[in-house]
């Protein structure tokens, strides 16, 4: 059995999107260099991600930031203690 994991998160100033397999990072979006990175060691069969994976990660960041704004608006009247 394998564990496959996708991480997608954002804040006002940063974001992350990464794909992992069995605890090893297979791909991540480098939003500073504006490219996808495949940090796989040379001794494995290289897994290549589809063209457009980075563009999808950028779109996911916009969705994440929009959802963050919606959550802030919905939670603005809640007390911190709640």
Residue 28 lies inside a defined structural domain of this protein: yes
CATH of residue 49? 3.10.320.10
Q: What local confidence, expressed as pLDDT, does residue 6 receive?
A: 94
Across the chain, what does the average pLDDT equal? 92
Phi, psi dihedral angles at 78 (to 5 degrees):
-80, 140
Residue 81 lies inside a defined structural domain of this protein: no
pLDDT above 70 (res 19): yes
Q: Which domain holds residue 10?
A: 4-75
pLDDT above 80 (res 81): no
DSSP string, 6-58: EEEEE-SS-EEEEEEETTEEEEEEETTTTEEE----TTSPPP-PPTTHHHHHH
**pTM of the predicted model, to two decimals?**
0.80
Q: CB-based burial of residue 31 (10 Å sphere; 0-12 exposed, 13-18 middle, 19+ buried)?
A: middle
């Amino acid at each position: 059995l394998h564990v496959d994991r996708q991480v997608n998160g954002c804040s006002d100033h940063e974001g992350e999107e990464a794909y992992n397999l069995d605890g090893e990072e297979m791909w991540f979006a480098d939003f500073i260099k504006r490219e996808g990175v495949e940090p796989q060691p040379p001794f494995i069969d290289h897994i290549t991600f589809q063209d457009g994976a980075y563009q999808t990660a950028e779109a996911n960041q916009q969705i994440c930031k929009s959802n963050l704004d919606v959550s802030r608006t919905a939670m603005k009247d809640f007390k911190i203690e709640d």
